[in-house]
Structure 1
Amino acid sequence: MGFQQGLSGLNASSKNLDVIGNNVANANTFGAKTARAEFADVYAAAMNGTGAGNIGIGVALSTVAQQFSQGNITTTENALDLAINGSGFFQIANVVRDPNAAPNATPQMDGAPMYSRNGQFKVDRNGFIVNNQQQVLLGYMADTNGIIAPQQARPIQLPTAGINPQATSGVQLEFNVDSRAAVTGPTATNINFNDPTSYNNATSVTMYDSLGQDVAVTYYMQKTAANTWNVYATASGTPLRTDGGGNPAPVATINFPTTGGNPTATGGGNIQYFMGGGGTSTDGRIPLDIPATTRPDGGTTLPITGVDLNMGSATQYGTVFGVTNLTQNGFAPGQLVGVTIDDSGVVMARFSNGQSRAAGQVELATFRNPQGLQPIGGNAWIGTFASGDPTLSVPGSGNMGVLQAGALEESNVDLTGELVNMITAQRNYQANAQTIKTQDQVLQTLVNLR
């Protein structure tokens, strides 16, 4: 009887249509992967392994294999949208949050991690990066200094509390003074900050105390002899150093070599400093202490001690005065204003004080046999014995793909191909139905024999 063969063909064609229909339904699902129904023929087993019957008894669904080819990448307006360009899966997890725990406490993962190619992420109320199912994104967390070390993957949380202030401890002052400049000092009072003729050049930098309060520090360069310059400094208008009579005194004297190069270069140059015990600097660094000052708004700043002022890159050439680098490492407190993610998965938090600091790094997973992963819905898979254990690493390392922020990976479903496959599956269904109809007609003919 051919009924069994035809029935198996109808079942196989119906399951093939189910797979095709699911592919078409997910043609616009980000991170979805197309599936393919794979079939195998079925033969009856002969007694003792012998027999001459070579006619099969139908077809069976062997497996539904997902195809993990790369989908098209489309750009978006959301900085937390992530696309993997290459191999790898995001690690996501369900979490259990203790209602009595602090808002920024790390939640406990509920079960094993899941894997997804859908990068539609957002930030929840506690600062964790989550998807639409409120599953957290896993990766490495950075310490308070923004340093990331490989560790066991955990939920990535942004620093919603902001960034604490940092007192200035170092200043880099790189400049050129004009070797042609006239000698302007010293005078009877050394220098008058309100009289530009008593000094040659000046520049300012904003420094910060331990509370993040800004202090305007101004440096004045006064040429006292050929190749010799005094450096004065004021904090909010108050001289950092005075002589015995209360007059401003230099904090350092720069003796340039006759070649006009850096004071620490060969040729007799050096920097003599008069604060922090006094002495001669061999590397261009001198110590400074900034006393408490009165702010323009009437407040008082805290003292800033142990500042390392580096003027070792100063030069004296026959060109106009110019500052080529003026930096300091302090900053005011700031609040989180934005997030960027680079192609290696490093999550950079941007703060209102202009600072940026690494908050974490996304960790990806790959499998030797990704087709062995089991789909569980919600654009996610779980590992199985067939898939093997995951290989974990950061994006861009080894065979891992790179991340593209502000982009999403589209479904890899070829809609045109699926529609053609649908027509083919429909015709196969009709053909199998025809074999049953024909077999029925043959059987009816036999029954009607007299």
Structure 2
Amino acid sequence: MAFQQGLSGLNTASKALDVISNNVANSNTIGFKAGRAEFQDVFAAALNGAASGVQVGIGSAIGAVTQSFSQGNITTTNNPLDVAINGNGFFRMAAPDGTVAYTRNGQFDVNKDGFIVNSQGFELTGFSAVNGVILAGATPKAIQLDFSDVQPSPSATMTLAMNLDSRDPVSPSFDPTNPTPLDRTNVTAGGYNFSTSATAYDTLGNAHTLSFFFQKTGAGTWNGYYQVDGTGNATAIPSPGSPLVFDNAGAITSGGQFNITFPEFAGTGASATQSIAFDLADSTQFGSQFGVNTLRQDGFASGRLTGITIGNDGVILGRYSNGQSRDLGQVTLANFQSPNGLLSLGGNLWAESPDSGQPIIGAPGSANLGLLNAGSLEEANVDLTAQLVQLIVQQRAYQANAQSVRAQDQILQTIVNLG
């Protein structure tokens, strides 16, 4: 029986060496999870009712090879399509044949059709987005990035908050056919006291420069004018926008809000009836230098996708050449009641099995799912030092079992010689 025991010991030590060698070989494999050989002893059935105290085992066997799904170290790569999972969960991947697999390897790329894929061509799945709105809660499907241009948005509102210097002299006149700045050494010539400009967008996304001129006509009273793209006559800001009136505390009391329609925009083929609502209600007239404190508007030109970023919640944000950004989708994660029940497919992929249970799918950070680290990768969780020590241990075990077989051989040889 010692031959069988020694042979089983050789087999189990050999299997353990295989597992350790596989761990060492994959120590640089992104997302790899180290395996462990679990041993069990083997007993023959006691046919003659032998007492348990005199039973002798007939060797050992490999009960299971399990994987440790502990967190691996996260290293920075600065590639926005490299993604690491910090915590529980797996990326859900759709194979070309429609089957689903799971992985911790976050080395992704974008193929010619805009799908986010791994090196084997499996497509990363998640929630899609329509016009920047993520359709969360739907069944995850392959994420396809939309490379189409962002449509322009015409300006509809503009906020302008400034300080008009109360110390500036009154200007006796303003020539709308030739806007000129006030000569403060010769105020009788007239002109505007202060000016500023802003960009507005028409219905086609064309940018237009709006120039504003402010003429002081009395204590706390200012007339306003505007000009489009630096051509044509300056036009008075329509009532109730002009004149701008300030009280003796420098706060605006009249003329803070008004609408202007721009037929000039039709020259580019855009709408001639576009109207913009202006808000100057936060403007002041203090005894300090003229300055613009706030200038914002809600329009923008068309834009092309220039880059993407993936947030820790899995949201894929597209950045566009016009300075805008919008959501393109959201990566989802899957977790299992028993990750060790997953079926290894190779290529850092696992498949669902009856032992693993069904996948629990959700957004990163929800339930017990981990968060994502974009521009990073999860290294293998192989402890090389521990593996090398185990390599020595199993090598010794293999040698010891070989000695057991040799000793049994010598005993049998002695018995034969007695005959």
* Counterpart position of 1:286: 258
Out of 94, 102, 123, the residue aligned to residue 136 of structure 1 is 123
Deviation, 1:162, is: 2.4
**1:180 Cα deviation from its structure 2 partner:** 2.4
Q: Secondary structure at the match of 1:365?
A: strand
2:108 to 105, 111, 121: 121
1:91 to partner: Cα distance: 1.3
Q: Which residue of 224, 241, 245 maps to 1:255?
A: 245
Residue matched to 2:403:
434
Taking a change above 3 Å as real, the CA distance of residues 363 and 304 of structure 1, as seen in their structure-2 partners, is farther
Structure 1 residue 350, shift from structure 2 partner: 1.4
Tell me the amino acid that sits aligned with residue 216 of structure 2. K
Change (3 A) 1:312 1:119: same
CA offset at residue 183 of structure 1? 2.5
User: Deviation string for 1:159-196 (max 9, x for gaps)?
Assistant: 212222221122122222222232325x3x66455211
**Whole-Å separation in 1 of the counterparts to 2:211 and 2:345:** 64
| Secondary structure in 1 matching 2:274 | strand
Gap regions ≥5 residues in structure 1: 97-109, 240-245, 264-268, 272-283
- How many angstroms apart in 2 are the aligned matches of 1:194 and 1:447? 124
TM-score by length of 1: 0.84
- The worse-fitting range, judged by mean Cα deviation, of 176-185 and 340-349 is 176-185
Structure 1 residue 31 corresponds to structure 2 residue 3 = no
Shift of 1:444: 2.2
Give, in angstroms, the shift of residue 287 of structure 1: 2.3
Residue 179 of structure 2: which of 194, 197, 202 is its match? 194
- 1:121-270 equivalences under 5 Å are 121-147=108-134, 149-184=136-171, 187=173, 191=176, 193-197=178-182, 198-237=191-230, 248-251=235-238, 252-253=241-242, 254-261=244-251, 263=252, 269-270=253-254
Secondary structure of the residue that 1:448 maps to in structure 2? helix
Measure the CA separation in 1 of the matches of 2:327 and 2:113. 18
Is the contact between residue 158 and residue 359 of structure 1 (CA under 8 Å) also seen in structure 2? yes
Secondary structure in 1 matching 2:403: helix
- Please state how far the C-alpha of 1:308 moved relative to its aligned partner: 2.3
Which letter does structure 1 place at the counterpart of 2:295?
L
The question of whether the paired residues in 2 share the 8 Å contact of 1:165 and 1:212 is answered with: yes
SS at match of 1:171: strand
Task: Quickly say closer, same or farther: Cα 1:151–1:316, change in 2 above 3 A.
Answer: farther
Q: Structure 1 127/437 Cα, relative in aligned 2: closer, same or farther at 3 Å?
A: same
Counterparts of 1:343-362 in structure 2, within 5 Å, are: 343-362=312-331
Judging changes above 3 Å, is the alpha-carbon distance between structure 1 residues 130 and 285 closer, same or farther for their aligned structure 2 residues?
A: farther
> Counterpart of 2:346?
377
Q: 1:193 to 1:71 in 2, by over 3 A?
A: farther
Asked if the contact 1:91–1:138 (Cα under 8 Å) also holds between the matched residues in 2, the reply is: yes
**Corresponding position of 1:276:** none
Indicate conservation of the 8 Å contact 1:364/1:393, yes or no.
yes
Deviation at residue 142 of structure 1 after TM alignment: 2.0
Candidates 256, 279, 282, aligned match of 1:310: 279
Indicate the RMSD between aligned Cα atoms, in angstroms. 2.3
Give the corresponding residue for 1:242.
Answer: none
- Tell me: CA distance 1:146–1:259, structure 2 relative to 1, closer, same or farther (3 Å): farther
Instruction: Give the gaps of 5 or more residues in structure 2.
Output: 183-190
Contact 1:207–1:215, Cα closer than 8 Å, also in 2:
yes
**TM-score normalised by L of structure 2:** 0.90
Structure 2 counterpart SS, 1:16:
helix
Measured at CA, do residues 386 and 286 of structure 1 come closer, stay the same or move farther in structure 2, by a change above 3 Å? farther
For the 8 Å contact 1:68–1:370, the answer to whether it is kept is yes
Letter of the structure 2 residue corresponding to residue 14 of structure 1: S
Superposed displacement of residue 312, structure 1:
2.4
Paired positions, count: 407
